[in-house]
């Protein structure tokens, strides 16, 4: 109880820091300043008389993973109003594209007042949290309002468990507010139970239940028509720093007329990645120019939102970003859903490790471990 009171008392102090953080992010991604009042509990949902099904998916991956679940819930509750909340602009954009008939909003930050007002205004029949969104005041507000709350597609790493255990006196009572938990694996289930969750069942990863929408498959065919008969290697959801590694390795590799299609994960980096590719000597074209890909184009930049499945559908081989550097990787099922081979993942690691980057073979930590797993660790790889 004392921990919860301290947590509640901290939020008035944290709120100015959160606003400063959002303004800082907005320097590169102006969308962080949009729908500001939703984030701070001032712009609340309005009822229309229908029962409400509420689902929270923090960002892009969780929003996509929710698609099979939302489809089933719509069949079960055909007249309900669906409200889907996010925390990031990219997640919001994905939700608007995937769920055009749902109400898309930001979830307020986790002050007790924000959450109490949000749940009172929303009055959902039940709520669904995707993966591991454990906001104590949100969980307590749902329990106080007698709103059943489910944590689905739940995952919890050993590292995250250790972190949550440090604030166990705050998290354990909040976990008891969950009606049920659907874990991705037995290991996740064990860790969630250790954190205080009850009624935990293993249901697998909903991302593998996803079927790409027909319009995205058609978009992939359109991309192939623009590209022509050339082989296509898609590097998707790449993170800051990875594009340079990919481009330098690609420049040194025998590649024939293969087209490299790079899709940065965050839209605020589209321009900088295009500039980087041009500075490294590549002929660059952008998807946003709406033109056929010229025969001399070496790098095609996927500078669009909501079209990732179309890019994968156009690929011969795909690489999933967030894995060259220590970002934890992005959604492998997105690529697997298109049945695209991932052999290039190993190839790019080999190029990265084999002397294209001075001293890589002697690197320590995550980068060094990746090189050794690729079979080229040690200083000899650099010399080769």
62 tagged catalytic: yes
Angle between helices 242-252 and 270-279 (to 10 degrees): 30
Query: Beta partners for 285?
Result: 300
**Strand pairing category for 317-320 and 284-286:** unpaired
Region of 319 on the Ramachandran plot (φ > 0 left; ψ -120 to 50 alpha; else beta): beta
Region of 322 on the Ramachandran plot (φ > 0 left; ψ -120 to 50 alpha; else beta): left
Active-site position among 62, 131, 133, 307: 62
Instruction: Report in angstroms the alpha-carbon separations of 278 from 247, 268, 283.
Output: 10, 18, 6
Q: Nearest Cα to 153, choosing from 122, 128, 120, 171?
A: 128
Alpha carbon 12 to chain centroid, angstroms: 29
Query: How many Å apart are CA 155 and CA 182, to the nearest integer?
Result: 9
Query: How many Å apart are CA 245 and CA 352, to the nearest integer?
Result: 6
Instruction: Report in angstroms the alpha-carbon separations of 303 from 94, 197, 307.
Output: 14, 41, 9
Query: How many Å apart are CA 174 and CA 168, to the nearest integer?
Result: 10
Angle between helices 136-144 and 112-122 (to 10 degrees): 40
Q: Is 16 helix (H, G, I), strand (E, B) or coil?
A: helix
Query: How many Å apart are CA 215 and CA 235, to the nearest integer?
Result: 21
Q: Is 21 helix (H, G, I), strand (E, B) or coil?
A: helix
Quote the DSSP letter at residue 356: S
Asked whether the beta carbons of 139 and 198 are under 8 A apart, the reply is no
Edge-to-edge order in the sheet of strand 103-106: 103-106, 81-86, 52-56, 126-130, 149-154, 180-183, 200-202
Q: Which residues are catalytic?
A: 62
């Amino acid at each position: 109880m004392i921990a919860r009171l301290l947590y509640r008392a901290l939020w008035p102090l944290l709120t100015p820091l959160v606003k400063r953080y959002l303004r800082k992010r907005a320097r590169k991604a102006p969308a962080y300043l949009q729908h500001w009042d939703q984030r701070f509990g001032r712009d609340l949902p309005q009822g229309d008389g229908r029962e409400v099904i509420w689902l929270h998916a923090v960002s892009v991956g969780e929003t996509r993973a929710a698609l099979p679940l939302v489809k089933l819930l719509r069949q079960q509750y055909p007249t309900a109003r669906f409200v889907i909340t996010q925390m990031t602009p990219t997640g919001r954009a994905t939700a608007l594209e995937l769920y055009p008939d749902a109400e898309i909003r930001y979830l307020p930050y986790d002050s007790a007042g924000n959450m109490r007002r949000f749940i009172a205004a929303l009055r959902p029949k039940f709520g669904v949290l995707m993966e591991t969104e454990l906001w104590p005041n949100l969980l307590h507000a749902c329990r106080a309002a007698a709103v059943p709350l489910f944590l689905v597609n739940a995952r919890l790493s050993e590292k995250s468990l250790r972190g949550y255990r440090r604030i166990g006196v705050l998290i354990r009572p909040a976990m008891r507010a969950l009606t049920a938990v659907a874990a991705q694996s037995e290991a996740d289930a064990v860790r969630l139970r250790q954190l205080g969750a009850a009624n935990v069942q293993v249901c697998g990863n909903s991302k593998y239940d996803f079927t790409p929408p027909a319009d995205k498959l058609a978009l992939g065919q359109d991309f192939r028509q623009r590209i022509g008969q050339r082989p296509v290697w898609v590097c998707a959801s790449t993170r800051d720093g990875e594009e340079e590694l990919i481009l330098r390795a690609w420049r040194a590799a025998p590649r024939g007329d293969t087209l490299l299609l790079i899709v940065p994960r965050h839209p605020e980096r589209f321009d900088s990645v295009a500039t980087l590719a041009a500075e490294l000597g590549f002929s660059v074209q952008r998807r946003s120019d709406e033109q056929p890909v010229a025969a001399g184009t070496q790098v095609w930049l996927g500078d669009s939102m909501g079209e990732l499945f179309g890019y994968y559908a156009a690929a011969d081989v795909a690489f999933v970003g967030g894995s060259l550097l220590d970002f934890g990787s992005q959604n492998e099922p997105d690529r697997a859903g298109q049945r695209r081979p991932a052999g290039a993942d190993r190839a790019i690691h080999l190029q990265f490790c084999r002397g294209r980057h001075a001293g890589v073979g002697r690197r320590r930590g995550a980068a060094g471990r990746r090189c050794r797993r690729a079979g080229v660790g040690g200083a000899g790889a650099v010399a080769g």
